[in-house]
Amino acid sequence: MNRRMAAFILGLALALLAGGALWWWLQGLGAGGTESQPPAGAGKAAPVPFDLWIPDGIGLRVERRELQVTSAPKDRIRRIAEALLAPRPDGVRLFPDGVALAGVQLSKEGTAYLNLVWDGHDDPPASGSTEELQRVYSLVNSIVTNVPEARRVALLWNGLQRPTFAGHLDTSRPLAPLDALRTR
């Protein structure tokens, strides 16, 4: 066996190693990426218009926005919440940068559970009552308005239900929408 043959075998082995590593990585990515994939059987994602409740002045205004969603209620809830948590073009954020949606559940009784997390922060952001109302009911109203399967929304912070988010609202139980916050 000459040097060329040895080099060929080694090259082949390295290529196989690289291929195996790539396959492994792809397997792992598939398993860890289920959160962003549409649920199996929920159909393909398609653009659907939603009425989102956006902070405005001292209340919330309704803004129509198109989101890519499947027909699965949980997927719709997740997309709506993610759209609300994302920074807006005017720079206003519903929650400070870093607050993210960690999970969604929907009970048979129609209670949607949203688990919000904020790395490095035990407590939700401090605020006045209007700000707290805007934060909480932007999510509650948007979800209940657009997802018929969700009748109430319970907000969790770092996986736990809290008596209040910012010292005013009672968030210890699922909340029904508050239409009176609508400004226009």
Q: Would you mind telling me the total number of residues written for the chain in this entry?
A: 184
Rounded Cα–Cα distance for residues 164 and 132 (Å): 9
Contact with another protein (CB under 8 A) among 17, 26, 63, 121: 17
Q: Which of residues 69-128 bind another protein (CB under 8 A)?
A: 72, 74, 92, 94, 103, 105-109, 111, 113, 115, 126-128
Q: Which is nearer to another protein, 65 or 158 (CB)?
A: 158
Q: For residue 174, give the 3-state DSSP assignment.
A: coil
Rounded Cα–Cα distance for residues 137 and 54 (Å): 9
Q: Which is nearer to another protein, 46 or 58 (CB)?
A: 58
CB of 97 to another protein, least distance (A): 14
**Contact flag: residue 37 with another protein (CB under 8 A):** no
Rounded Cα–Cα distance for residues 120 and 117 (Å): 9
**Contact flag: residue 64 with another protein (CB under 8 A):** no
Contact with another protein (CB under 8 A) among 26, 30, 46, 58: 58
117: phi then psi, degrees, rounded to nearest 5:
-130, 155
Q: Which is nearer to another protein, 49 or 163 (CB)?
A: 163
Q: Residues near 85 by Cβ (< 8 Å), separated by ≥ 6?
A: 93, 94, 95, 99, 100, 101
Rounded Cα–Cα distance for residues 180 and 59 (Å): 9
CB of 140 to another protein, least distance (A): 9
Contact with another protein (CB under 8 A) among 16, 26, 66, 87: 16
CB of 48 to another protein, least distance (A): 17
Element containing residue 142 per DSSP (H, E):
helix 129-146
**Contact flag: residue 164 with another protein (CB under 8 A):** yes
